């Protein structure tokens, strides 16, 4: 597995297995077991997915040495603030059955739609992540769903520059301004819903490209993210898709292909605008 280097020198496997919407219990356990045996070494979960327990069990039962795995989880929105964040981190760690995390993210920024003091809340929450990082309980810290203005605000008070910003990214939803800011600060962009959660798989341009390369639209989307230094987190419960989403070598996207995909009209947006969400 190829890797990216985070801005603190830590290596992160270049494709991660996303577990959003994989229900706790058998389904999450089986999907993560399947992913680990297919060769994924990077698993992305979150407290709010409700599946940390099964994800942790699958990790343990895989028998893979912990040091060969990269595990991410995220702080849910109800737990923002310094003390609550520290407690939520410990709870996630216990539910996963781990003694350290590789990456911990603020799942969504407090936003101006819900909070007058959104910037102070985010700064305070970030301080807690910095504390966990300095204690060595987590190898890297970052944010998720922070559009440019939110990230800029956080950077004004952050002592540790976030290593990652995990955002919705797929053909038809590129968030260029945010990606550009991340690149300028050496913040790795991770793509959630790199396949638009299935909503863009029928796009004719992408289908034609996939046919011409003897591959799937899913793989085109994954390569598209990687080609611009963005780390995709494809989710699947289908063993066939789990395997093929790891296959990075069977085709290449040319500069012209990348240009074509970049120019696709807006499509597949989840509808969750971080500035406006009320959860
Ligand atoms: P399935 O679980 O049946 O594989 P995203 O990662 O953008 O959230 O997209 C996930 C959705 O895309 C799921 O519905 C998943 O279905 C589907 N999917 C994942 N990989 C592929 C693939 N290689 N080809 C087609 N569909 C895929």
The whole-model pTM stands at: 0.98
Provide the pLDDT for residue 245.
94
pLDDT, one tens digit per residue, over 73-82 is 999 999 999 9
Tell me which residues of the chain have a pLDDT lower than 70.
Answer: none
Q: Which residue minimizes the CA distance to atom 22 of ligand 1?
A: 218
- pLDDT on residue 278: 95
Q: Under 8 Å CB-to-CB from 35, ≥6 apart: which residues?
A: 17, 43, 242
Report residue 134 as tokens: 């300095």
Angstrom distance (rounded) from CA 271 to CA 268: 9
Asked if 49 is an active-site residue, the reply is: yes
pLDDT at 1: 84
The Cα angle at residue 172 between residues 223 and 46, in degrees rounded to 5: 70
In tens, the pLDDT along 170-201 reads: 999 999 999 999 999 999 999 999 999 999 99
**CA 119 – ligand 1 centroid, Å:** 35
State which of 195, 244, 270, 272 you would mutate to test the pocket of ligand 1, scoring each by most atoms of that ligand within 8 A of its C-beta. Answer: 195
Q: Which residues line ligand 1 (CB under 6 A)?
A: 18, 193-198, 201, 216, 218-219, 234-238, 241, 244-245
Q: List b or e across 63-74, with b for residues whose CB sees 16 or more CB atoms inside 10 angstroms.
A: eeeeeebbbbbb
């Amino acid at each position: 597995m190829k890797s990216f280097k985070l801005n603190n020198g830590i290596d992160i496997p270049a494709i991660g297995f996303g577990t959003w919407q994989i229900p706790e219990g058998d389904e999450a356990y089986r999907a993560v077991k399947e992913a680990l045996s297919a060769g994924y070494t990077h698993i992305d979960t979150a407290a709010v997915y409700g599946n940390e327990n099964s994800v942790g069990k699958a990790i343990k039962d895989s028998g893979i040495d912990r040091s060969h795995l990269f595990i991410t989880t995220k702080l849910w929105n109800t737990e923002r603030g310094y003390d609550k964040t520290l407690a939520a981190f410990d709870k996630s760690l216990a539910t996963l059955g781990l003694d350290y995390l590789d990456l911990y993210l603020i799942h969504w920024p407090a936003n101006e739609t819900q909070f007058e003091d959104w910037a102070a809340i985010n700064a305070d929450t970030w301080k807690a992540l910095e504390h966990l990082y300095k204690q060595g309980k987590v190898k890297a810290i970052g944010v998720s769903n922070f559009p440019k203005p939110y990230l800029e605000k956080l950077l004004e008070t952050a002592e540790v520059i976030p290593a990652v910003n995990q955002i919705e990214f797929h053909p038809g939803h590129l968030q260029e301004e945010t990606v550009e800011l991340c690149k300028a600060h050496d913040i790795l962009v991770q793509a959630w819903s790199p396949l638009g959660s299935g909503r863009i798989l029928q796009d004719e341009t992408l289908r034609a490209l996939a046919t011409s390369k003897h591959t799937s639209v899913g793989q085109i989307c994954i390569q598209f993210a990687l080609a611009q230094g963005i780390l995709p987190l494809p989710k699947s419960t289908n063993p066939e898709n789990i395997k093929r989403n790891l296959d990075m070598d069977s085709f290449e996207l040319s500069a012209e292909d990348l240009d074509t995909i970049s120019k696709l009209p807006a499509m597949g947006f989840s509808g969750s605008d971080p500035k406006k969400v009320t959860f």
